Amino acid sequence: MQLFNQLHPEWQVVLAPHKVLIESIANSIDSEKVAPKFELIFRALSQPLSNTKVVIFGQDPYPTLGHAHGLAFSVNKNVSRLPPSLRNIFEELSNDLGEAKRSNGDLSDWFNQGVLLLNRILTTEIGSSMAHATVGWQAVTNSVAEELGKHDVVAILWGKSAGELRKFFREGFVIESVHPSPLSAYRGFFGSKPFSACNEILIRNGLAPIDWK
**Positions marked active-site:** 60
Ramachandran angles phi, psi of 174, nearest 5°: -120, 130
Are the C-beta atoms of residues 14 and 144 closer than 8 Å to each other? yes
Rounded CA separation 24/124 (Å): 15
The answer for residues whose C-beta is within 8 angstroms of residue 93's C-beta and 6 or more apart is 99, 101, 102, 195, 212, 213
User: Could you give the angle at the alpha carbon of 77 between the alpha carbons of 3 and 59, nearest 5°?
Assistant: 50
Cα separation, 153 vs 23, whole angstroms? 28
β-strand pairing of 115-119 with 54-58: parallel
Cα–Cα distance list, 185 to 7, 117, 159, 177, 205 (Å) = 33, 19, 10, 9, 29
Q: Under a CB-based contact definition with an 8 Å cutoff, are residues 133 and 125 in contact?
A: no
Ranges of beta strands (E only) in the chain are 34-35, 54-58, 115-119, 124-125, 154-158, 174-177
